Structure 1
Amino acid sequence: MAEAEAQSQEAQSQSQDPEAELPEDNDGARDFIRAVGKLFKRARERAGLSQQEAADRLNYGVDMVGSVESGRRVASPEMLLAADKLFGTGGLLTAVIDDLEKARTKARTRHPAWFRVFARLEGKAVEIHEYSTMVIPGLLQTESYARALYGVRQPPFSKETIDTRVADRLERQKILHNWPPPKASFVIEESVLRRQIGGREVHRGQLLNLLRAAELPGTELQIMRTDQPEHPGLTGPFTLLTPKGKSQLVYIESHGQNRLITDAEQVRLMAARYGSIRAQALNFRESTELIEKLLGEL
């Protein structure tokens, strides 16, 4: 108990460290990002394309296109270059690239206070390993899935809070697309893949997104079968994180309560536990085959 209290105090002291705080949101930057989204949408509509058609031809997910148009996500320079050509805007979209990148920097997302320390460390991670028992890991969620999750929260969030939380979650996912990417692995309980959060179509989109994520460089995905009756992960989900230039740590979260474990011996034991979990889960090929099978059943 004393050790747990000491670790809780350590996490709280980290949260109070000014250097650990993420920058405050900048309303002007947010307004500019939303304005660019409206411009993107207008250009798409003038080109006579639906969101799905534009997504297919740009080689992006329709959720991404919708998020850019609503100002929840910032279009990458590559996306704007491709869209400018596809929509025939003659450089109108590419002209905002430099300013949009500056706005992205200013409009760093604001996570809940209790999550900020972890989010800051995750953004600098060279290794991320997560075992998930209830929902798809945040770094692998689609926008629709994340929105459905926040939508069932009790007591309920306001629409504005849900929009902010969803945007924050999508922003975190950029780390898997960095180069070089972090070494990332995810072990997900099979029951999570069978729970149709948000309904059938949201569920289908989420399963497809897992298959896309499994193809990312540096990312490994495994499924723990429900018929695996005994394994060391039965005590609950956790994340192993290694920030660049720092020692590995463990993050545990449940019902809005979080804990960062930095004690070297406890981290070692959790890392060993994760290794055992991976050894008992389906391998990569078996895992993707199971996801494809579940998709075929929808």
Structure 2
Amino acid sequence: MSNAYGEWLKAQREAAGLTQQQLAELALMTRSHISHIEAGRRVPSEEDAQRLDRALGTGDVLTTFRPQEDDRKDSCREPVARKFQGARKLEEQATFICEFAVAFFPGILQTRRYADAVLGAAFPPYSDEERDEAVVSRLERAKILERPTSPVVWALLDEAVFRRVAGSPDIMAEQIMHVVRLAERGRIRVHVLPLGGPICTLHQSMVSLMYFADQPPVAYSEGTKVAKLHDAPHLVERIQGAYSLAMSDALSLSESVHVLRTAAKEHGYRG
């Protein structure tokens, strides 16, 4: 997003003679959250913006002009790196991420060849430049898993994710074993929702729940031509409930790893 919002917030804070800490106390927020908003790294929730307006006496300016996704863009033509920009910044700051995948492996778990195959199936097709940009974006996101412990990552996968072939059986085997190895060394937890299980609310789209040390959780959902970052507490709570309900129908960690290994062998893995 443009940082005009953050810069205006900073100007109003300084005009009021307040430090970030003082404003945070008045608005019932944390200093680091204020810092992120001013720097353009986070978008405040509607409740945050309302509290900032009250603290600074700015009427409803910060609430009314709170940055939003530009729905006028044709999202199916927009490179993933831009479409996911707001959520990606939060993903990098999260301490705990819960992923649900209904069709594809989550972006932070994708291998280069799998990401390229998935993006190659897009319609209308990406240009070579857009496709390369999107693949690089996903690989950059995956680097958060190179950190030893944070963020904690849980991945809830519908079985269709690894049964349907993206690219080729060889690509699928490589992708599945990448996830298995991450789980076996304890870097992530993975749980499978069996195809024979009940349908659930989450099956409408992919979902990512993100938790932080210094602000309330947010959720990101993405479907066909639609991507949305949710920060309203009542909506996030509903998504959390749906995730917990789906998790109750999932296989255990050990059972899930076994199912994934078996699927990799069915795709041709010989390790």
SS of equivalent to 2:95: strand
Which residue of 2 is the match for residue 133 of structure 1? 102
SS of equivalent to 2:84: helix
SS of equivalent to 1:173: helix
Which residue of 2 is the match for residue 237 of structure 1? 206
Rate the CA distance shift 1:195–1:14 in 2: closer, same or farther, 3 A.
farther
Deviation (angstroms), 1:231: 3.2
User: How big is each residue's C-alpha offset from its partner over 1:3-36, in whole Å with a ceiling of 9 and x where there is no partner?
Assistant: xxxxxxxxx89997573369xxxxxxxxxxxxxx
Question: Please, which of 155, 159, 165 is the counterpart of residue 186 of structure 1?
Answer: 155
CA distance in 1, matches of 2:226, 2:139: 21
**CA RMSD, Structure 1 to Structure 2 (Å):** 2.4
- Counterpart mapping for 1:67-86 below 5 A: none
CA distance in 2, matches of 1:136, 1:189: 9
CA distance in 1, matches of 2:91, 2:266: 35
Q: Do structure 1's residue 164 and structure 2's residue 133 form an aligned pair? A: yes
Which residue of 1 is the match for residue 237 of structure 2? 268
Rate the CA distance shift 1:16–1:193 in 2: closer, same or farther, 3 A.
farther
CA distance in 2, matches of 1:236, 1:217: 27
Equivalent AA in structure 1 for residue 243 of structure 2: Y
Q: Do structure 1's residue 282 and structure 2's residue 251 form an aligned pair? A: yes
Q: Do structure 1's residue 210 and structure 2's residue 167 form an aligned pair? A: no
CA distance in 2, matches of 1:16, 1:193: 42
SS of equivalent to 1:20: coil
Rate the CA distance shift 1:140–1:183 in 2: closer, same or farther, 3 A.
same
Question: Please, which of 5, 8, 20 is the counterpart of residue 40 of structure 2?
Answer: 20
TM-score (norm 2): 0.67
Rate the CA distance shift 1:232–1:155 in 2: closer, same or farther, 3 A.
closer
TM-score (norm 1): 0.62
CA distance in 2, matches of 1:279, 1:15: 44
Rate the CA distance shift 1:16–1:237 in 2: closer, same or farther, 3 A.
farther
CA distance in 2, matches of 1:173, 1:222: 19
Which residue of 1 is the match for residue 21 of structure 2? none
Deviation (angstroms), 1:241: 0.8
User: How big is each residue's C-alpha offset from its partner over 1:139-158, in whole Å with a ceiling of 9 and x where there is no partner?
Assistant: 11110000011112111112
Deviation (angstroms), 1:244: 3.7
Deviation (angstroms), 1:218: 4.5
Deviation (angstroms), 1:125: 0.7
Deviation (angstroms), 1:237: 2.3
Which residue of 1 is the match for residue 224 of structure 2? 255
Deviation (angstroms), 1:215: 2.8
- Counterpart mapping for 1:91-170 below 5 A: 112-170=81-139
Equivalent AA in structure 2 for residue 166 of structure 1: V
Deviation (angstroms), 1:111: 5.9
SS of equivalent to 1:292: helix
Q: Do structure 1's residue 246 and structure 2's residue 266 form an aligned pair? A: no
Q: Do structure 1's residue 221 and structure 2's residue 241 form an aligned pair? A: no
* Aligned sequence identity (%): 25
CA distance in 2, matches of 1:217, 1:201: 25
Consecutive unaligned residues of structure 1, counting only runs of 5 or more, are: 1-11, 23-109
Deviation (angstroms), 1:222: 0.5
SS of equivalent to 2:149: coil
CA distance in 2, matches of 1:15, 1:190: 44
Which residue of 2 is the match for residue 101 of structure 1? none
User: How big is each residue's C-alpha offset from its partner over 1:234-269, in whole Å with a ceiling of 9 and x where there is no partner?
Assistant: 333211011341110111112242111111122112
CA distance in 1, matches of 2:170, 2:262: 16
Rate the CA distance shift 1:234–1:158 in 2: closer, same or farther, 3 A.
closer
**Conservation of the 8 A alpha-carbon contact between 2:158 and 2:194:** yes
**Conservation of the 8 A alpha-carbon contact between 2:81 and 2:133:** no
Q: How many pairs does the alignment contain? A: 200
